[in-house]
Amino acid sequence: MSQLNILQPPQTKGHVSVVKLPDHWFIACTSEELKRKPLAATVQGVPLVLFRERGGRVAALLDRCPHRNVPLSVGKVRQGRLECAYHGWQFDSAGTCRTVPGLCGDAEASARNCPSYATRELDGFVWVYSTADKQPDKEPFRFPFVDDSRYTTVRRSLSMQCTMHAAVENALDVPHTGFLHGGLFRTSKKSNEITVKIKRGPDRVEAEYEGEPAPRGLAGRVLAPGGGMVQHWDRFILPCVAQVEYQLGSRYHVMVSSAFTPVTDFETRMHAAVCIRLPVSGRLIKPVMMPVALRIFQQDSQILKLQTALIRRFGGEQFVHTEIDVLGPHIWHLLRQAERGVRGDTEGSILERRMMT
Amino acid sequence: MSQLNILQPPQTKGHVSVVKLPDHWFIACTSEELKRKPLAATVQGVPLVLFRERGGRVAALLDRCPHRNVPLSVGKVRQGRLECAYHGWQFDSAGTCRTVPGLCGDAEASARNCPSYATRELDGFVWVYSTADKQPDKEPFRFPFVDDSRYTTVRRSLSMQCTMHAAVENALDVPHTGFLHGGLFRTSKKSNEITVKIKRGPDRVEAEYEGEPAPRGLAGRVLAPGGGMVQHWDRFILPCVAQVEYQLGSRYHVMVSSAFTPVTDFETRMHAAVCIRLPVSGRLIKPVMMPVALRIFQQDSQILKLQTALIRRFGGEQFVHTEIDVLGPHIWHLLRQAERGVRGDTEGSILERRMMT
Amino acid sequence: MSQLNILQPPQTKGHVSVVKLPDHWFIACTSEELKRKPLAATVQGVPLVLFRERGGRVAALLDRCPHRNVPLSVGKVRQGRLECAYHGWQFDSAGTCRTVPGLCGDAEASARNCPSYATRELDGFVWVYSTADKQPDKEPFRFPFVDDSRYTTVRRSLSMQCTMHAAVENALDVPHTGFLHGGLFRTSKKSNEITVKIKRGPDRVEAEYEGEPAPRGLAGRVLAPGGGMVQHWDRFILPCVAQVEYQLGSRYHVMVSSAFTPVTDFETRMHAAVCIRLPVSGRLIKPVMMPVALRIFQQDSQILKLQTALIRRFGGEQFVHTEIDVLGPHIWHLLRQAERGVRGDTEGSILERRMMT
């Protein structure tokens, strides 16, 4: 029936920047979201059910009863086990079927088990390991400074309609700020040539901006009211973390860490913690920062949604990269290596780029 | 463009319990629903138009004008013929084109005819035969006791978002009642081991429950207020009928007959008649029974809808059967034989199972 | 996963009357619709962005920024150039990238250019050429009489949910008027046999109705209050124009020209100009004609929408043609020749048909 859709846009490569990463940790939900009831969450397209065992430890199973394929997340937690709403089958935290009501004989049989996923609860987030029935060989990313009393921390969890790669590139992309967030973040009036150093590690890539003036615009006036030169780093850490760090002398320090969860191809959930150390009281930061940060996020979210709709309409991406897309292609390279299970091959290498700001 | 959907749940077998049965009768609508205007109805994915000829006999045609593919169901019945709304072509009950307005010469030509389907109007239902332009070699199922004055009859027609097989299995499934309908139907507190006899016939399968106590819970108190032992049969009759029968001594008798119409893969319409004979006046039954029955139906309908959504999300079913799924696999076997045109091969065979209730 | 959709209607040929025509002009929007902001428009499935250069000339580009695939139509026009909302890249009317903010060095590079489409602004409409980056070898259709002061002109632009072919055939189809528009347009009471002459040219087909009485019904009483014989022509002109012309003596003349834009397979936009010359003041025409014309359009639009839904449901069209479908098959033949780049092979040929009206 191919004739039913012949009026298509021009052909593209049919490529979309989506990976499926085995053996990695992603945030499934916040600690707050997981209460007494089981909770449905999707990670990399896989429907999961999260629940708390006796004592509160988090368990994660594939969200499908092996019996009649009803979602277990509409069931109940009974005495630390997850009970299916349809026929009352019960599963423990390892996914083992422990009860089949009505059955004469043993409930346990391997075909009746659910795949289970390792979990960690850290820094207020519930992480799940992306490979079922496997012990992790590494631990999740830790959010720096969230427990440091010298810092004011603001957390936000938000959903975006785009690939994880597009969300991460956007979070670490400098050139769009003057246009999409023109006025809020920086302006394009004056122009300085600066140097960007790009460092690759086995699980990360970092851009260091040298000689950059303090951010201008409204955000700049809040972050660095006295102006001056700042140190600025943008980092991507496998599999899902974007970090933006600003240092202004020894008294101002801003660390924005965002962990992105690929929910489906074009749905990404961001869990961000903004940690700020200022010489003034942190109580002033939230009421001033939050409206600006939310406006920036809305603008990013809207443009990424439009990008996604167009990519879907054309059946794929067709991006052109320039010298000043300093991190996007590196991030994609790291994600592809991780998907193939290959260790980063460019540890310690440093590139330099020039950019006008 | 396979990359556009790479974040999928784990692979399943890609199987869904759907059949397409030629040469069988299904209910297209109730007698009440078909008035003077033509009526659109879908059976096994086939769009049909039903209309009443002069004298009231029901005709059923493929709901597509052969000329410009407009649905005939938006047309009119004129003098017992169905007239297309677009160019006024008229069709008789056999689907023969009898008028082409504007055409000089004969309207009749075989390419201008519509496929037609045999119909029967019985027990308040309009049945259609699933193979076009063919005389049926058997007659539709008759609803027992609906015209018997000793019985109180309640009818209901309802739509469910699931396969016909899932709806039928659910209607005849004992183990789910204690959980999905916990409190309403039976409770899981006490536990008795009973025997289930499964009898296969060429067009049916029946489960007979022996030694079963009267149903507990609210429904039990209504159906069998005195408690005691009941006889209980669950039956599937090809192609689409589920029957639940309870006998308590000679004075209480309950017969629930439901004919299921596979509308599309995941849409099933149920036409049920509940016939009850009690030693007390039947007038008391409806106000007490109806709220309970509707609540049970809502719970079934909701869980089946969730099951369907999950099956579609995974791209297929992956069921595990146990000893106490006494009828589901037999029903599927009968449906598959009927789809292939094979006659049941296990006539008269009897299996026994044990079950805790 | 084919089993997920096995309950389908009977198989059809899987054919849909959709073509994709290179090297032809289609209307993208009206002159009025394109103001200072860029405007998104889709032609034959291709997303375009239209904008006015300095001086007002219209430019049309593929509506996708080559950099990160954001729609350019959400950007701004700055000094006659189109600026992307995400990173501020600027494109001129030829699609050449002229600015990449932040980049040290030349912005221009062929990979950074956008495909561009030739445009013409004529008779109040913006036409675009369907092949990118190519100089047209012919000019768009001109709407006759729209600037003639002896004529009263009414314009309307409307969207229809159907193929362009179905919309054009409907616009030029006589036999449906008595049924779909029964009462408004003509009635089926009296019946005359008339002759239709069909003339094929290389880029057009015309039906001339001889001996036709003036249209009856409400529309007829408005168009030809004195009755009498009319001359009537229905024309299709490649790639997208349907024309209906009525002449009643030398004093009454009606010319309805409609240009159809295939937006997607099943979405067609119609831009119509009705030009009427009467012996009475034209001021009377609009208030009387408009409600009738809109009612006729609503009826056509509704039946075509139902036709489309059914064609999609069956997975294709399965039309039967008769002698009195005088233009539809010729129009399809012309469209298919144009799609293949073949010149019409039946120039000047004349066919005759008989029809009852």
Mean pLDDT per segment of 10 residues, for chain A of length 357 residues?
57 84 97 97 97 97 98 97 98 97 91 97 98 96 96 94 98 93 63 90 94 67 67 96 92 94 97 89 74 90 97 94 95 95 75 88
Q: Say whether both C166 and C259 belong to one domain.
A: yes
Query: Measured between alpha carbons, how far is A73 from A276 in angstroms, rounded to an integer?
Result: 38
Q: Say whether both A157 and A224 belong to one domain.
A: yes
Region B237-245: mean pLDDT is 97
Determine, for residues C265 and A5 on separate chains, whether the beta-carbon distance falls below 8 Å. Answer: yes
Q: Which two tokens stand for residue B38?
A: 């033509």
Domain that holds residue B195: 152-356
**Min Cα separation C314/chain B (Å):** 9
Q: Is residue B166 part of a domain?
A: yes
Q: Which two tokens stand for residue C53?
A: 């250069």
Question: Is residue B1 pLDDT above 50, yes or no?
Answer: no
Which of these three, A97, A129, A161, is where a domain ends? A129
- Nearest-by-Cβ selection for B356 from A18, A69, A104: A104
In a mutagenesis test of the C interface, which of A11, A170, A176 is the best target, namely the one with the most C β-carbons within 10 Å? A176
Q: Say whether both A188 and A82 belong to one domain.
A: no
Q: Say whether both A209 and A242 belong to one domain.
A: yes
Q: Round the average pLDDT of chain A to a whole number and report it.
A: 90
Question: Is residue B285 pLDDT above 90, yes or no?
Answer: no
Q: Which amino acid, residue A162?
A: C
Region B254-278: mean pLDDT is 95
Name which residue leads in pLDDT, C26 or C3.
C26
In the sheet that holds C25-30, the strands lie side by side as: C25-30, C125-129, C119-122
Q: Is residue C146 part of a domain?
A: no
What SS3 state is found at C70? Answer: coil
Beta bridge partners of B353: B196
Question: Is residue C149 pLDDT above 50, yes or no?
Answer: yes
Q: Say whether both B164 and B298 belong to one domain.
A: yes
State the residue for tokens 């440091």: A148
Q: Say whether both C156 and C36 belong to one domain.
A: no
Confidence of residue C235 (pLDDT cuts 50, 70, 90): very high
**pLDDT at residue number C344:** 66
Question: Is residue C259 pLDDT above 90, yes or no?
Answer: yes
Confidence of residue B333 (pLDDT cuts 50, 70, 90): very high
- Nearest-by-Cβ selection for B85 from C3, C166, C303: C303
The contacts of residue B340 (CB under 8 Å, 6+ apart) are: none
Supply φ then ψ for residue C73, to 5 degrees: -70, -10
How far, in whole angstroms, is CA C303 from its chain's centroid?
18
In a mutagenesis test of the B interface, which of A67, A81, A86, A113 is the best target, namely the one with the most B β-carbons within 10 Å? A86
**pLDDT at residue number B187:** 52
Nearest-Cα residue of chain B relative to residue A88: B179
In the sheet that holds C241-248, the strands lie side by side as: C152-160, C267-277, C252-264, C241-248, C229-237, C204-213, C193-201, C350-356
Supply φ then ψ for residue B265, to 5 degrees: -50, -45
Question: Is residue B220 pLDDT above 80, yes or no?
Answer: no
Question: Is residue C280 pLDDT above 90, yes or no?
Answer: no
Name which residue leads in pLDDT, C182 or C216.
C182
Q: Is residue B250 part of a domain?
A: yes
In a mutagenesis test of the B interface, which of A26, A87, A97 is the best target, namely the one with the most B β-carbons within 10 Å? A87
Q: Round the average pLDDT of chain C to a whole number and report it.
A: 90
Region B7-15: mean pLDDT is 73
**Min Cα separation B99/chain A (Å):** 32
Q: Say whether both C165 and C309 belong to one domain.
A: yes
pLDDT tens-digit readout, B17-54: 999 999 999 999 999 999 999 999 999 999 999 999 99
Cβ neighbour number for residue C36 with a 10 Å cutoff:
9
Return the CATH number at B211: 3.90.380.10
Query: Measured between alpha carbons, how far is A104 from A100 in angstroms, rounded to an integer?
Result: 9
**Min Cα separation A161/chain B (Å):** 14
Q: Is residue A145 part of a domain?
A: no
Confidence of residue C224 (pLDDT cuts 50, 70, 90): low
Determine, for residues B111 and C320 on separate chains, whether the beta-carbon distance falls below 8 Å. Answer: yes
Following DSSP, what letter does each residue of A10-63 receive, concatenated? Answer: PP---B------SS-EEEEEETTT--SS-EEEEETTEEEEEEEPTTS-EEEEES
Query: Measured between alpha carbons, how far is C247 from C223 in angstroms, rounded to an integer?
Result: 10
**pLDDT at residue number A100:** 96
**pLDDT at residue number B189:** 57
Burial code of C158-189, b = ≥16 C-beta within 10 A, e = fewer?
bebbbbbbbbbbbbbbbbbbbbbbbebbbebe
Q: Which two tokens stand for residue B268?
A: 């099933």
Nearest one of A206, A173, A168 to A357, comparing CA atoms: A173
Other chains touching C, judged by 3 or more CB pairs under 8 Å: A, B
Q: Say whether both C194 and C241 belong to one domain.
A: yes
Q: Is residue B98 part of a domain?
A: yes
**pLDDT at residue number A2:** 41
**pLDDT at residue number C2:** 41
**pLDDT at residue number C183:** 63
Q: Say whether both A100 and A189 belong to one domain.
A: no
pLDDT tens-digit readout, A184-231: 655 545 678 899 999 999 999 999 998 777 666 666 666 666 667 789
Q: Is residue B11 part of a domain?
A: no
How many domains does one find in chain B?
Answer: 2
pLDDT tens-digit readout, A28-48: 999 999 999 999 999 999 999
Query: Measured between alpha carbons, how far is A331 from B297 in angstroms, rounded to an integer?
Result: 52
- Nearest-by-Cβ selection for C87 from A9, A175, A317: A175
Cβ neighbour number for residue A198 with a 10 Å cutoff:
17
**pLDDT at residue number A344:** 66
Determine, for residues A356 and C66 on separate chains, whether the beta-carbon distance falls below 8 Å. Answer: no
Decide: A38 and A23 in contact? Cβ < 8 Å: no
Query: Measured between alpha carbons, how far is C198 from C179 in angstroms, rounded to an integer?
Result: 23
Question: Is residue C177 pLDDT above 80, yes or no?
Answer: yes
Other chains touching A, judged by 3 or more CB pairs under 8 Å: B, C
pLDDT tens-digit readout, A136-159: 999 999 999 999 999 999 999 999
pLDDT tens-digit readout, C81-101: 999 999 999 999 999 999 999
Question: Is residue B256 pLDDT above 50, yes or no?
Answer: yes
Q: Say whether both A71 and A164 belong to one domain.
A: no
Q: Say whether both C192 and C325 belong to one domain.
A: yes
Region C324-336: mean pLDDT is 96
State the residue for tokens 């005819």: B113
Q: Say whether both A175 and A100 belong to one domain.
A: no
Question: Is residue B215 pLDDT above 80, yes or no?
Answer: no
Query: Measured between alpha carbons, how far is B290 from B297 in angstroms, rounded to an integer?
Result: 10
**pLDDT at residue number A3:** 43
**pLDDT at residue number C14:** 75
Return the CATH number at B77: 2.102.10.10
Region B74-90: mean pLDDT is 97
Q: Is residue A137 part of a domain?
A: no
Q: Is residue A7 part of a domain?
A: no
